Amino acid sequence: ETGVTQTPRHLVMGMTNKKSLKCEQHLGHNAMYWYKQSAKKPLELMFVYSLEERVENNSVPSRFSPECPNSSHLFLHLHTLQPEDSALYLCASSQDPLALGTEAFFGQGTRLTVV
């Protein structure tokens, strides 16, 4: 149990669907992150939230829309995705994004397949 829980674990969606990924952390952390993990590529940081405020948006297409209603929950809303968006989406949290050497705790990920 890592303290970061992601649901669903697997998701198959069509290009016209709308779905949401959910992440919940029970660690009392102040920062949460979305990463995309594609085959043969480094992990890509998508979004960073600190104290429920978005502090980083790495040029992610608007078809990905994050939401952080409180410090324990993070969502990634998906709509009109493309097949190349198929990947493992990882949520992470940390005590504070501004502290050097801060460790990130990861969830198990959601394996997304866009058909």
Partner 1 sequence: GNSVTQMEGPVTLSEEAFLTINCTYTATGYPSLFWYVQYPGEGLQLLLKATKADDKGSNKGFEATYRKETTSFHLEKGSVQVSDSAVYFCALSKGDSGGSNYKLTFGKGTLLTVNP
- Here's the x/- map for partner 1, 56-75, by CB under 8 A: it reads as x-------------------
Q: Which of 32, 78, 109, 112 binds partner 1 (CB under 8 A)?
A: 109
Q: Which of 90, 93, 112, 114 binds partner 1 (CB under 8 A)?
A: 90
CB–CB of 24/88 below 8 Å? no
Instruction: Name the residue nearer to partner 1 (CB basis): 60 or 104.
Output: 104
Q: Does residue 108 interact with partner 1 by CB under 8 A?
A: yes
Please give the span between the terminal C-alpha atoms of the chain, in angstroms, as a whole number: 31
Closest contact distance (angstroms) between CB of 96 and partner 1 is 9
Phi/psi class of residue 57: alpha, beta or left (left: φ > 0; alpha: ψ in -120 to 50)? beta
CB–CB of 6/109 below 8 Å? yes
Cβ-based burial of 104 (10 A; exposed 0-12, middle 13-18, buried ≥19): middle
Residues lying near partner 1 in the complex (CB under 8 A): 2, 4, 6, 40-43, 45, 48, 55-56, 90, 92, 97-109
